[in-house]
Amino acid sequence: MGAHKRTSRYGRYAGGPDPLAPPVDLGEALDAIAEDVMAGYTPRHALQEFLRRGGRNRSGLDDLAGRVQQRRNELLSRHRLDGTLNEVRKLLDTAVLEERKQLARDAGMDDTDRAFREMQLQNLPPSTAAAVNELASYDWQSSSAREAYDRIKDLLGREILDQRFAGMKQALENAGDADRAAVAEMLRDLNELLDKHRRGEDTDGDFQEFMARHGDFFPENPQSVEELIDALAQRAAAAQRLLQSMSPEQREELMRLSAQAFGSPELMAQLDQLDSSLRALRPGEDWAGSERFDGQEGLGLGDGTGVLQDIAELDALSEQLSQSYSGSNLDDLDLDALARQLGQDAAVSARTLADIERAMQDGGYLRRGADGDLRLSPQAMRRLGKALLRDTAKQLSGRQGGRDTRVAGAAGEQTGSSREWEFGDAEPWDVTRTLANAIRRTAADGGDPARGLRLGPGDIEVTETEARTQAAVVLLADVSFSMAAEGRWVPMKRTALALHHLVSTRFRGDRLQLITFGRYAQTMDIGELTALPALREQGTNLHHGLLLAGRFFRRHPSMQPVLLVVTDGEPTAHLLPDGESWFSWPPDPETIRLTVAELDRLGRAGTQATFFRLGDDPGLERFVQRMARRIDGRVVAPDPGDLGAAVVGEYLRAHLREPYDDDWSSWR
């Protein structure tokens, strides 16, 4: 038996999403959403904004909506609705011209009869419809003229049917009497089916029987009577909007011409009955709308109805893309319609956005709170904190005068355990385990460890250590409105997230408290701080913040108290004995006295303090310098973008009780 040679042919994949497409990049979405949340958006709003903007090399909802509107405008500006009238006028002119030629050639015709006919043709009404109707009983002498006139009736019939049944104009071209009889029979059966459905007397068998007899007229291949009605009603409503989009003169002409369709008044009666049934069955369709066409390309009734259907589909897509209605989500998008109107690339972009929206919730990055609104989940906070800490580590390691930053208790005793190396780690390597990993990997890959090893990042393990000193750390963050107004709001939140992630993952023995202070101070968890919107509230109540910090330190008496204060203004508020906040600008001497007294109390308890001064206000600079001297603390003046590295660096310095050799002047 001879060898059978197999051949393969490949074409465009059309079975759904591209199986070779890269996976959805949730990292980009999460980063963008988190940035917006830190800037004051709710997570739901931040997700919506990302979906509207899109991502790298991916269209967003706004871009898709703009393309939808552009497509709609193109349809209106390209077309006008007099295509059928113009075709009828041309056929009428042809018929009249051919008849006149025949009258001039026919020498045997009675002169009186010829004169009467010429006068009749000469005095035809200017209205196309009126002229066509007047010639309905004319005895044509020219066969070519009679043929042109009969084509008018055929054209009108096909156009009117094409309004209700897409493709009918082409299907019935050159149709004979039997074809027209089949259409008439289909209309009678359809009206009977819809009438029974309106009365609730139809069965599935009635629908199946109808489709078995007339299914060729319905390329949409409806699977139920409801799907059949949907398709017919959408088309019929578009046909009605087409008529209402015409000028009154055009509309009147077509209504008068319709009597000549196929020369069959019964056809119009059947179509009128069909329209009446569809209106009753689908009253929610747009039966009353209209559009303004101002282009140069004439449209026939069928093509015009198709364009109106396209416009209706574009309007539905525009609403879906707006996501402005209650309960909206991207699963509502009609991807097939989007592909029809804008192309497959638009559908792919929309599907990807829907996948991102779904994955952000199903993947655990967003979750619903008790109030029903979306929030960043702890998983999202950990991922974001890890990314921010990585950025901070890069800043620390890349600064002039810096040294390696040891984290995860790097200055303490080894525990005897190890873990896989992660980017940013500076712990000592566990050489034995690292080499063992490299040997196993080399052997598994088919290599010979005896001939040499090449270490890979996945081979490296670092030793775990325990910290020598546990710390109770308070990050006091100024949340007065000037922080947001001067572009310091997001850097402050990024700093808190990075520090929180460092403490919760590498210094688990430490305790961190986040305290915000504006008109009042309050403790917050990291999720609350991340989602905190900017408040237009006057007041920098450092006094209240220090009171809360002291309370936290007293709950952890065995730990080293570390105070990190981030502020861009002098204290302008203090807490009264009754719990109310007293605000004054310029700062009230009593506010300064109470703030200094509370700081002194923390200093006597051995608190290590660092003040991070944001901005160049001379009054603030004098104040923080004096405060730092009173408590033997430090002042750092970073740019907002370097705030995270500054705070983390100071935390490490204070925690490890070592001089942190760094050129802070380069941060100013």
Amino acid 141 reads Q
Strands (E), 427-541: 461-466, 471-478, 511-517, 521-524
Do the beta carbons of residue 480 and residue 569 sit within 8 Å?
yes
Q: How far apart are CA 627 and CA 598, in angstroms?
A: 11
Closest CA to 50 of 20, 67, 25, 19: 25
Question: Is the pTM value of this prediction over 0.85?
Answer: no
Domains defined for the chain, CATH in brackets: 38-79+314-376 (no CATH), 82-292 (no CATH), 413-466 (no CATH), 471-667 (3.40.50.410)
The pLDDT value given to residue 426: 58
Distance of CA 591 to the CA centre of its chain: 49
Question: Which secondary-structure segment (H or E) carries 113?
Answer: helix 111-122
Q: Which residues are registered as beta bridge partners of 477? A: 516, 566
User: What is the average per-residue pLDDT within 56-69?
Assistant: 88
Closest CA to 610 of 565, 571, 653: 565
506 vs 226, higher pLDDT: 226
Q: How far apart are CA 548 and CA 561, in angstroms?
A: 13
Q: How far apart are CA 176 and CA 155, in angstroms?
A: 13
- The 10s digit of each residue's pLDDT in 78-117 is 999 899 999 999 999 999 999 999 998 887 888 888 999 9
Question: Which secondary-structure segment (H or E) carries 419?
Answer: strand 413-420
pLDDT confidence of 17, banded at 50, 70, 90?
low
The pLDDT value given to residue 143: 94
The pLDDT value given to residue 407: 37
| DSSP string computed for 28-86 | HHHHHHHHHHHTT--HHHHHHHHHHH-BTTB--HHHHHHHHHHHHHHHHHHEES-HHHH
Strands (E), 151-244: none
Top mean-pLDDT range of 70-74, 470-474, 492-496? 70-74
33 vs 493, higher pLDDT: 493
Do the beta carbons of residue 103 and residue 67 sit within 8 Å?
no
The pLDDT value given to residue 664: 31
pLDDT confidence of 400, banded at 50, 70, 90?
very low
Judged against a pLDDT cut of 80, whether residue 493 lies above it is answered with yes
User: What is the average per-residue pLDDT within 241-265?
Assistant: 84
User: What is the average per-residue pLDDT within 123-149?
Assistant: 92
Q: Look up residue 123 and give its DSSP letter.
A: T
Top mean-pLDDT range of 264-268, 351-355, 454-458? 351-355
Neighbours of 118 (CB within 10 A): 14
pLDDT confidence of 8, banded at 50, 70, 90?
very low
pLDDT confidence of 411, banded at 50, 70, 90?
very low
Judged against a pLDDT cut of 70, whether residue 515 lies above it is answered with yes
525 vs 534, higher pLDDT: 525
The pLDDT value given to residue 387: 72
The pLDDT value given to residue 13: 45
| DSSP string computed for 83-111 | HHHHHHHHHHHHHHHHHHHHHHH-TTS-H
Q: How far is CA 600 from CA 171, 245, 568, 591, 604, in A?
A: 94, 81, 21, 14, 6
End-to-end distance of the chain based on CA atoms, in angstroms?
85
- Judged by DSSP in three states, 139 sits in coil
The pLDDT value given to residue 4: 44
Identify whether 586 is preceded by a cis peptide bond (ω within 30 of 0): yes
Q: Look up residue 477 and give its DSSP letter.
A: E
Q: How far apart are CA 541 and CA 500, in angstroms?
A: 23
- The 10s digit of each residue's pLDDT in 279-301 is 999 999 999 989 999 899 998 88
Q: How far apart are CA 605 and CA 602, in angstroms?
A: 5
Question: Hey, what's the torsion of the CAs at 63, 66, 72, 75, to 10 degrees?
Answer: -80
The pLDDT value given to residue 423: 60
- The 10s digit of each residue's pLDDT in 301-324 is 889 999 999 999 999 999 999 888
Q: How far apart are CA 379 and CA 383, in angstroms?
A: 6
Judged against a pLDDT cut of 70, whether residue 659 lies above it is answered with no
Do the beta carbons of residue 521 and residue 544 sit within 8 Å?
yes
Task: Tell me which residue has tokens 């989940």.
Answer: 377
Per-chain mean pLDDT for the chain: 83
pLDDT confidence of 598, banded at 50, 70, 90?
very high
Question: Which secondary-structure segment (H or E) carries 393?
Answer: helix 378-397
